[in-house]
Amino acid sequence: MAAASGAAAIAAGSNSTLAFDVERVREDFPILKQEVYGKPLVYLDSGASAQKPTAVIDAMREVQETCYANVHRGAYYFSQHLTDRYESVRKTVAGFLNAGSDQEVVITRSVTEAINLVAYSFGAGLSAGDEVIVTEMEHHANIVPWQLLRDRTGIVLKVAPIDDDGNFLLDAYEALLTPRTRLVAVTHVSNVLGTVTPLKEIIRLAHEAGAKVLVDGAQAVVHGKVDVQDLDADFYGFTGHKLYGPTAIGVLYGKADLLKEMPPFQGGGDMIRSVSFAETTYADPPLRFEAGTPPIVEAIGLGAAIDYVNAIGHEAIAAHEAGLLAYATQRLQQIEGLRIYGSAKEKAAILSFTMEGIHPHDIGTIIDREGVAIRVGHHCAQPLMQRFGVPATARASFGLYNTRAEVDALARALEKVKELFG
Partner 1 sequence: MEDALRELYQEVILDHGKHPRNHRHPPEANHSARGYNPLCGDQVTIYIETDADGRIADAAFEGHGCAISIASASLMTEILRGKTEAEARQLFDDFHRLCTEEDFALEQAGTDDQDALERLQVLSGVREFPVRVKCATLAWHAMASALNGGGDATTE
Instruction: Give the nearest distance from C-beta 378 to partner 1 in angstroms.
Output: 4
Query: Is the Cβ of residue 45 or residue 290 nearer to partner 1 in the bound state?
Result: 45
In the complex with partner 1, the residue whose CB is nearer, 99 or 355, is 355
Question: Which is closer to partner 1, CB of 41 or CB of 170?
Answer: 41
Positive/negative CA dihedral, 284, 288, 293, 298: negative
Residue 354 beta carbon to partner 1: minimum distance, rounded to whole angstroms: 12
Nearest to 299 by CA among 133, 91, 132: 91
From the list 41, 159, 256, 380, the catalytic residue is 380
Q: Which is nearer to partner 1, 200 or 361 (CB)?
A: 361
- Contact positions vs partner 1 (CB under 8 A): 37, 357-362, 365-366, 369, 376-378, 382, 385, 391-392, 416, 419-422
Q: Using CA atoms, how far apart are residues 173 and 134, in angstroms rounded to an integer? A: 10
The end-to-end CA distance of the chain, in Å, is 40
Q: Which is nearer to partner 1, 371 or 399 (CB)?
A: 371
* CB crowding 7-45: b at 16 or more within 10 Å, else e: eebbebbebeeeebebeebbebbeebeeeeeeebbbbbb
Nearer to partner 1, 79 or 382 (CB): 382
Q: Residue 236 forms beta bridges with which residues?
A: 215, 253
What's the closest the beta carbon of residue 377 comes to partner 1, in angstroms? 4
In the residue annotation, 380 being an active-site residue is answered as: yes
Q: Which C-beta is closer to partner 1: that of 207 or that of 416?
A: 416
Active site residues per annotation:
380
